[in-house]
Structure 1
């Protein structure tokens, strides 16, 4: 397990889960909104949200409409706060999409600059800063891999993290090929060729949204350059 823990440090995060659950003590101050699966969660420069139930994804959209998936978030995560800090909307916009039916509580941005609020709930501010550092680290590691590694190495590292999280060599994958192509910012044909290569190398068997089979973990680590 120590080896796995060490290797996981070198694999970028694409999903956060429950990192801000401490904020649930403050739900009574929030505005509750429900979103159905497939809904775009509109950003508001005056509010930030807390994902109480569901799964969302954060994407960067270029001025030309090209999308890249940046991060997935599940129950217990602060979300949409990027709208409070993002100042390049003319070049890139942030889109938050509900991957399942979601419940989100919204809070006014002034809460984060309120000295009295900070004094009353220092643990919430500390938690928020910590989760922002997680996201910054995820973005930085993704960018670094895009610069330094081949697509095959990036894909293998991603599959390796899924293996670590599942704790099994056969598990429900949860990602479609369209999503993977958007995550790695590549054409879907390139992704298909990468998956075919891994199958031919005997690294993976099934690779669908419902099932991923890793058949040669040692070769996966080798190709991932871990």
Structure 2
């Protein structure tokens, strides 16, 4: 699950908002005083530190809610830790259609549809688990293992030979994986020289030449599937 892109975590929230979906052009950011659901398009979450540093946290696809913190943390005076150590910002990486929810609307929906609140709790726990796995990977795993984990989450179903989709520029992929883009390129060249995969930096697909070795590098085990 490390470095996965989340998709369709909150399908049940589509068309629940009292507002029609709005178009947010590529590059748009989102005010913190609403929760949103991404009806179509793609977003990334970036952490911005006080000294100007940036770190891509994850990507979201359609059918996912974001900025749920207004529901979980608003009015909570007993938080043991400050949430203001960094500024977290969602940005549209392509044109997006989004619906938004005010805090008052969320409260009304929660009273009428507790199943929707349960869905939010479940998807939020998935995000926490994803973030925890990424922290571990960034702390203790090799560059090559991180690359394989990223690609393993983007395998193209039914591809023969087995291929993975590289759905972002190399510099963004490097940021997500916690390394410099030159380091990422060297790790991919190392994997290519070992015959593990084949890639062209101008292509958005990477061919997996040794699936068993690839998945063992990514997960420590080989999935029970045929290649």
After TM superposition, the score normalised by the length of structure 1 is 0.83
In the alignment, what sits opposite 1:88? 83
Which consecutive unaligned segments of at least 5 residues does structure 1 have? 1-10
Find out whether 1:176 has 2:155 as its counterpart: no
1:42 is the counterpart of 2:30: yes
| 8 A Cα contact 1:36 1:102, kept in partner | yes
> Deviation of residue 32 (structure 1)?
4.0
Question: Quick check: which one's strand share is greater?
Answer: 1
Could you say which residue in structure 2 is the equivalent of 1:158? 150
Contact 2:4/2:153, CA 8 A, preserved across alignment: no
8 Å CA contact 1:14, 1:70 repeated in 2: no
| Paired residue secondary structure (1:60) | strand
Q: Pick from 34, 38, 41 the counterpart of residue 51 of structure 1.
A: 38
Q: Which runs of 5+ in 2 are unaligned?
A: 75-81, 222-227
Q: Which has the higher helix share?
A: 1
Q: Following TM superposition, by how much is the alpha carbon of 1:25 offset from its aligned partner in structure 2, in angstroms?
A: 3.9
Partner residue of 2:77? Answer: none
Which residue is 2:79 aligned to? none
Q: Is the 8 A contact 1:43 1:80 kept in 2?
A: no
C-alpha distance in structure 1 between counterparts of 2:91 and 2:63, whole Å: 16
In the other structure, the counterpart of 2:210 is 216
| 8 Å Cα contact 2:3/2:149 also seen in 1 | no
Q: Is contact 1:18–1:77 with CA below 8 Å preserved after alignment?
A: yes
Instruction: List aligned pairs for 1:85-164, cutoff 5 A.
Output: 85=73, 87-89=82-84, 91-112=85-106, 114=107, 117-163=109-155
Residue in 2 that maps onto 1:20:
10
- 4+ residue segments displaced more than 6 Å: none
Over the residues paired in the alignment, what is the CA RMSD in angstroms?
2.2
Q: Is the 8 A contact 2:70 2:103 kept in 1?
A: no
1:67 partnered with 2:54: yes
Cα distance, 1:167 vs structure 2: 4.3
- Structure 1 residues 82, 70: closer, same or farther in 2, change over 3 A? farther
In 2, are the aligned partners of 1:48 and 1:78 still within 8 Å (CA)? yes
Give the 3 Å change call, closer, same or farther, for CA 26–54 of structure 1 in structure 2: same
In terms of mean alpha carbon deviation, does 55-64 or 193-202 score higher?
Answer: 55-64
1: CA distance, partners of 2:70 / 2:91:
14
Q: What are the superposed Cα offsets for residues 14-73 of structure 1, whole Å, 9 maximum, x if unpaired?
A: 21111111112413x236432111x231332x3111111111111112222222211111
In the aligned structure 2, how far is the partner of 1:124 from the partner of 1:135?
A: 17
The aligned counterpart of 1:8 is: none
Does residue 30 in structure 1 map to residue 19 in structure 2? Answer: yes
> What is the TM-score of this pair, normalised by structure 2?
0.83
Matched, 1:204 2:197: yes
Report the secondary structure of 2:128's partner residue. helix
